[in-house]
Chain A
Amino acid sequence: MKATTHRMKDNAVDAMANPALQDSLDRMKTGFSSKRAIARDRLPEFDALRDQGRDIKNRVLANLDHYLEAFEEKVIAAGGKVHWCADAEEANAAILGICQSLDARTVTKGKSMISEEIGLNDYLEANGVTPVETDLGEYIIQLRHEAPSHIIAPAIHLQMRQVEETFREHHRHLDPARQLMEPPQLMGEARAELRGRFIAADVGITGANFLIAETGSTVIVTNEGNGDLTQTLPKAHVVVASIEKIVPTLEDASTLMRLLARSATGQELSVYTTFSTGPRRADDPDGPGEFHVVLLDNGRTDLLGSEFSEMLRCIRCGACLNHCPVYGAIGGHAYGWVYPGPMGSVLSPGLIGIEDAGNMPNASTLCGRCEAVCPMHIPLPRMLRAWREREHDKKLSPRSVRWGLDLWAMLASRPRLYQIATGLAMKLLGRLGRRHGNFLNLPLAGGWTDHRDLPAPEGATFMQQYRKGRRATK
Chain B
Amino acid sequence: MSQRKVALFVTCLVDLFRPTVGFAALKLLEQAGCDVSVPEAQTCCGQPAFNSGDRGNAQKVARGLIEAFEPFDYVVAPSGSCAGMIRKHYPELFAGDDIWEARATALAGKTWELTSFLTDVVGFDAVDASYDGSVTYHDSCSGLRELGVKSQPRKLLDKVAGLNLTELPGAEVCCGFGGTFCVKYADISNAIVADKTEDILATGADTLLAGDLGCLMNMAGKLSREGRPVKVRHVAEVLADMTGDVAPISQGPES
A residues sitting closer than 8 Å to B (CB atoms) are 9, 12-13, 16, 325-326, 328-330, 362-369, 371-372, 382, 385, 387-393, 397, 401-402, 405-406, 408-409, 411-413, 415, 418-419, 422, 425-426, 436-438, 440, 445-448, 450-455, 457-458, 460-463, 465-467, 470-474
Are A330 and B145 closer than 8 Å at their CB atoms? no
- Inter-chain contacts of B14 with A (CB < 8 A): 462
Cross-chain pairs A/B with CB under 8 angstroms, 30 sampled: A9-B185, A12-B187, A16-B188, A325-B174, A325-B176, A325-B192, A325-B195, A326-B188, A362-B185, A366-B141, A385-B53, A388-B53, A412-B12, A413-B63, A418-B43, A422-B15, A422-B16, A447-B186, A448-B183, A451-B189, A454-B221, A455-B224, A455-B250, A458-B18, A461-B15, A463-B40, A466-B38, A470-B23, A472-B27, A472-B240
Question: Number of B residues contacting the other chain (C-beta, 8 Å)?
Answer: 78
Instruction: Tell me, in angstroms, the Cα distance from A13 to B190 when the chains sit together.
Output: 11
Are B222 and A452 closer than 8 Å at their CB atoms? yes
- Inter-chain contacts of A450 with B (CB < 8 A): 186, 190
The total number of A-B Cβ pairs within 8 Å is 216
Are B250 and A438 closer than 8 Å at their CB atoms? yes
Instruction: Tell me, in angstroms, the Cα distance from A440 to B221 when the chains sit together.
Output: 9
Instruction: Tell me, in angstroms, the Cα distance from A446 to B55 when the chains sit together.
Output: 27
Find A458's partner among B64, B246, B254 (CB 8 Å cutoff): B246
Q: Which B residue's beta carbon lies closest to that of A436?
A: B254
- Inter-chain contacts of B165 with A (CB < 8 A): none
- Inter-chain contacts of B187 with A (CB < 8 A): 9, 12-13, 16, 451
> Is chain B's interface secondary structure helix, strand, loop, or mixed overall?
helix
- Inter-chain contacts of B48 with A (CB < 8 A): 405, 408
Are A437 and B43 closer than 8 Å at their CB atoms? no
The reply on B229 being an interface residue by CB < 8 A is no
Instruction: Tell me, in angstroms, the Cα distance from A418 to B50 when the chains sit together.
Output: 19
Instruction: Tell me, in angstroms, the Cα distance from A117 to B197 when the chains sit together.
Output: 38
- Inter-chain contacts of B112 with A (CB < 8 A): none
Are B26 and A472 closer than 8 Å at their CB atoms? yes
- Inter-chain contacts of A446 with B (CB < 8 A): 186
- Inter-chain contacts of B221 with A (CB < 8 A): 438, 448, 451-455
Find B177's partner among A330, A365, A389, A426 (CB 8 Å cutoff): A365
Taking A364-B181, A365-B141 as contacts, is the C-beta distance between A409 and B222 under 8 angstroms?
no
The reply on B151 being an interface residue by CB < 8 A is no
Are A369 and B174 closer than 8 Å at their CB atoms? yes
Are B17 and A458 closer than 8 Å at their CB atoms? yes
CB-CB nearest 8 A-B residue pairs? A365-B178, A388-B53, A452-B221, A447-B183, A367-B174, A409-B57, A462-B19, A392-B53
Are A452 and B26 closer than 8 Å at their CB atoms? no
Apart from A330-B191, A387-B53, A451-B187, 16 more pairs, CB < 8 Å: A326-B192, A362-B185, A363-B188, A371-B145, A389-B54, A408-B57, A409-B49, A412-B44, A412-B61, A437-B250, A448-B183, A451-B221, A462-B15, A463-B10, A465-B19, A470-B23
- Inter-chain contacts of B22 with A (CB < 8 A): 462, 466
The reply on B247 being an interface residue by CB < 8 A is yes
Are B176 and A413 closer than 8 Å at their CB atoms? no
- Inter-chain contacts of A422 with B (CB < 8 A): 15-16
Nearest CB of A to B253, in Å: 11
Nearest CB of B to A391, in Å: 6
- Inter-chain contacts of B18 with A (CB < 8 A): 457-458
Are A473 and B27 closer than 8 Å at their CB atoms? yes
Are B51 and A388 closer than 8 Å at their CB atoms? yes
